[in-house]
Amino acid sequence: KPPISIPPLLSRLATASANLPVLPSPDPLCFSSVPSSFIRFWVSRLLQLYKRKAFCLLISSFRTSVLSLCGIYHRYGDSHCSPCQRVIVHLLLFSSLLSFTNPTPSPTQYEQSQIISRFQEYLRINTSQPSPNYKKSTQFILSLAESLSLETQVIEFVQGKPLVILKWPGSDLFLPSILLNSHTDVVPSERSKWDYHPFGAHIDENGNIFARGPQDMKCVGMQYMEAVRRLKASGFQPKRSLYLSFVPDEEIGGHDGLEKLAQSDVFKNMNVDIVLDEGLASPNENYRLFYGERMPWWLVIKATGAPGHGAKLYDNSAIENLFKSIESIRRFRASQFDLVKAGLKGEGEVILVNMAFLKAGMPSPTEQSITILVTWL
């Protein structure tokens, strides 16, 4: 649907509120009985907020009714909503727009250059598998945390694989916390196939940065840090505690990093309620939010059969039986890929199947196996 424009929405609110009837006996749990004076007050207040560029509005009352009403409105439209309910929905839409508008001023040109410089410094640290320089990346992250007065903790569940946790304490320590996660390691690179050095963080005349790992996912970790920097500069104090985690070994499974953190008492004591993590890389300046965007399913298919021989043919050999599964998987994979190639779906909207590993053995009877990663939505 097209984005909602704020001024027309305000006009709709003003018009709707002016024509509201006076409703007797207000019930605080039912929107259909909210008095019109209350609605008119909030409409006028919203107009003042918008004119004065007050960017954050919180509506904390009627929380349960808000959810049920928005569901009715989304499903049935205006026909199932009273005049008061329609105005409340518009109020909620407008307050949502305001609450997601950046409350801090835009960075100056100098601040922007500093942001890019810090990002480049992170990109120039070679954390590619199989020999990531975790020591240098950890020192870099800790130096940023010190400049922002964040609490720091470095944990090595496995020696040589540090996990960095930063904390911005909230004003209410009893509330569940928010965790912003990113990984520090990146995939390998072949220098001969790059126009610029993969760890040089070169910027061309169009502002494009050439490096290994800028979207997967060093940019996200730096976005977290820069967001904290701007919020702190504006005087913002979070109500919930905010954690930033920089974990190792994601590119090789994450077993020695995030997996061990999630199983630890450290994570339990963090009392995490919401986690934001990696998603699809963006080809432009827009970022999309996903919930459970990709879920992995590792399969191992084993086939048994008679062993081969240079002077004899056998029916139902292990490799022959395995090829039947491989061909079935290949056809399904091709059908999903065709949807992407035709522009009907994006890569995050299809089931991805990749045959990753083939292993053969010589027991009797012969056994062959392949490891397959299936990712679905």
| Residue-level pLDDT at 49 | 52
pLDDT one-digit tens code per residue, 51-78: 444 333 333 333 333 344 444 344 444 4
Mark the ranges of the chain whose per-residue pLDDT is less than 50: 1-6, 20-35, 51-81, 93-94, 96-102, 376-377
- 242 CB contacts (<8 Å, ≥6 apart)? 167, 168, 170, 177, 178, 180, 228
Q: What is the pLDDT of residue 237?
A: 94
pLDDT of residue 60: 34
Per DSSP bridges, beta strands 295-305 and 242-247 are unpaired
**Distance (Å, whole) CA 3 – CA 191:** 43
Residue corresponding to tokens 């012969």:
366
What pLDDT is attached to residue 97? 44
pLDDT at 373: 53
Identify the pLDDT of residue 367: 55
Whether residue 256 lies in the annotated active site: no
| pLDDT at position 96 | 45
**What's the angle, vertex CA 350, arms to CA 4 and CA 282, rounded to 5?**
50
The model's pTM is 0.65
Torsions phi, psi for 182 (to 5 deg): -150, 160
Nearest of 133, 132, 126, 129 to residue 200 by alpha carbon? 126
Is there a catalytic annotation at residue 185?
A: yes
Report the pLDDT value the prediction gives residue 14, as an integer from 0 to 100.
56
Q: What is the pLDDT of residue 210?
A: 96
From 226, 250, 251, 256, active-site residue = 250
Residue tagged active-site, from 185, 226, 249, 251: 185
Q: Which residues pair with 376 in a beta bridge?
A: 295
pLDDT of residue 16: 54
Q: State residue 304's pLDDT score.
A: 80
